[in-house]
């Protein structure tokens, strides 16, 4: 079965072709990051317009690189939420027209489930159940993946998402956008024990808003006293505070649920320290640890094609009334 995946929920225009879910034949990502960099964050209207400009090119290229023809596609899978409404609408509209034109089924995919499915692409042996930390720009959840399409929410952020905190702290330190990779790099040159930033968690939930304020206050205090501060130390100490809480709660969740495997998903899963620390603690606890290849952590369409395959197998099909759902609640209503 050939699945065409389409992803336009934020600032990446992406298309991919998968064979039977886990095998990826092509994976095209056109990133708009360089355009949004000028503004210090994603400008929704610009994102939508760029998606419109690039979507046909990206989809055609994905089909060509997969070495198949349009008519060979058996299923069209598209992200329909959560995300930016205008951006999502471009992918959803394109996918609906495409599936109608080739007369093949359409499936709307939840972006967060897509991030989790990225693990199946990298690790062919991985099967549920497992506990997954999903940490991206808009979401931070600890989820028990009971089956390919059955999820149980175990913990979540009470305020900011982890990626959002990385982006804001990067801006305050003057590293720019996108913050995650820049802090990741800067932290390698700093002392993670230099500043004792707070680690806040409530049960399996966490909070990053207070941490963000603590970083801002630290910088302001230094400025008021005319004291120099080392921004690499601030980056490293901030990153450590985020990683410590994410690792502690995820390990606790796996133990509580008596699940032997831990996975990472979402853009923040690309973080070097998070990958290393989670692996170290998982091994210490006798747990198996998996994380997607770096290119499948951040937004891509291969994960959407993979998740679309499993959703379709579970009987999920969409019709031409499929709409963008910018604030779709991925786990809370389960
Ligand atoms: O999953 P994603 O590509 O898009 C959303 O669905 O939000 O995640 C983007 C987020 C951004 O906040 C970005 O700063 C963060 O993931 N991110 C990272 C790293 N790479 C991306 N955060 C920490 N370390 C990284 N290496
Ligand atoms: Zn994402």
**Start-end of H helices in 110-230:** 111-122, 162-173, 179-187, 209-224
At residue 30, the pLDDT reads 98
With a 6 A CB cut-off, is 163 part of the ligand 1 pocket?
A: yes
Q: Whose CA is nearest to atom 22 of ligand 1?
A: 180
Does pLDDT of 72 surpass 60?
yes
Q: What are the pLDDT digits (tens) for 302-320?
A: 999 999 999 999 999 999 9
Which domains, ranges and CATH numbers included, belong to the chain? 2-117+296-330 (3.30.420.40), 127-292 (3.30.420.40)
Ligand 1 centroid vs 319 CA: distance in angstroms? 31
* pLDDT band at residue 268 using 50, 70 and 90 as cut-offs: very high
- C-beta of residue 88 within 8 angstroms of C-beta of residue 273: no
Contact 88, 324 (CB under 8 A): yes
Q: In this structure, which residues have their CB less than 5 angstroms from ion ligand 2?
A: 136, 299
Ligand 1: centre distance to CA 163 (Å): 5
CB 240 within 8 A of CB 273: yes
Whether 333 shows a pLDDT value over 70: the answer reads: no
**Alpha-carbon span 98 to 296, nearest angstrom:** 24
- The rounded distance, in Å, linking the Cα atoms of 266 and 171 is 21
Mutation pick for ligand 1 pocket among 13, 268, 296, 307 (CB with most ligand atoms within 8 Å): 268
Identify the pLDDT of residue 331: 87
Query: What pLDDT is stored for residue 329 in this prediction?
Result: 85
Tell the residue nearest (CA) to atom 23 of ligand 1: 180
Report whether pLDDT(201) > 90. yes
Q: What is the arithmetic mean of pLDDT over 7-19?
A: 98
Please write the tens of the pLDDT for every residue from 227-251: 999 999 999 999 999 999 999 999 9
Q: Region 162-184: what's the mean pLDDT? A: 95
Q: What is the mean pLDDT of the chain?
A: 97
Residue 193 has pLDDT above 80, yes or no: yes
- pLDDT at residue 146 in the model: 97
Give the angle subtended at the CA of 313 by the CAs of 309 and 318, to the nearest 5°: 75
The predicted pLDDT at position 160 comes to 95
pLDDT confidence of residue 334: 40
CB 16 within 8 A of CB 64: no
Q: Is the distance from the beta carbon of residue 267 to the nearest atom of ligand 1 less than 6 Å? A: yes
Q: Decide whether any atom of ligand 1 lies within 6 Å of the 114 Cβ.
A: no
For residue 330, the model assigns a pLDDT of: 86
pLDDT reported for residue 92:
98
């Amino acid at each position: 079965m050939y699945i065409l995946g389409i992803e336009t929920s934020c600032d990446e225009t992406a298309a991919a072709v998968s064979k039977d879910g886990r095998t990826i034949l092509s994976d095209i990502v056109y990133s708009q990051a360089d355009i949004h960099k000028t503004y210090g964050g994603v400008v929704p209207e610009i994102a939508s317009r760029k998606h419109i400009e690039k979507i046909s090119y990206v989809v055609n290229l994905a089909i060509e690189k997969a070495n198949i023809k349009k008519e060979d596609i058996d299923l069209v899978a598209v992200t329909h939420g959560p995300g930016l409404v205008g951006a999502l609408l471009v992918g959803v509209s394109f996918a609906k027209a495409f599936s109608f034109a080739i007369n093949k089924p359409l499936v709307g995919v939840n972006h967060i489930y897509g991030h989790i499915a990225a693990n199946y692409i990298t690790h062919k042996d991985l099967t549920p159940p497992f506990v997954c930390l999903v940490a991206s720009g808009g979401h931070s959840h600890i989820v028990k993946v009971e089956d390919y399409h059955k999820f149980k929410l175990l913990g979540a952020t009470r305020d900011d998402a982890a990626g959002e905190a990385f982006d804001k702290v990067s801006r305050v330190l003057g590293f720019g956008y996108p913050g995650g990779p820049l802090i990741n790099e800067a932290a390698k040159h700093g002392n993670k024990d230099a500043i004792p930033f707070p680690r806040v968690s409530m049960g399996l939930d966490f909070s990053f808003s207070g941490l963000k304020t603590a970083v801002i206050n630290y910088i302001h205090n230094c400025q008021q006293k005319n004291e120099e501060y080392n921004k690499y130390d601030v980056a490293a100490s901030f990153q450590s505070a985020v990683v410590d809480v994410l690792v502690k709660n995820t390990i606790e969740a796996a133990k509580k649920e008596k699940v032997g495997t831990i996975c990472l998903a979402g853009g923040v899963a690309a973080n070097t320290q998070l990958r290393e620390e989670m692996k170290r603690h998982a091994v210490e606890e006798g747990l198996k640890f998996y994380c997607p290849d770096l290119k499948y952590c951040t937004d891509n369409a291969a994960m959407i094609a993979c998740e679309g395959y499993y959703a379709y197998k579970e009987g999920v099909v969409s019709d031409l009334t499929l709409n963008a759902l910018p604030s779709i609640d991925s786990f809370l209503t389960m």
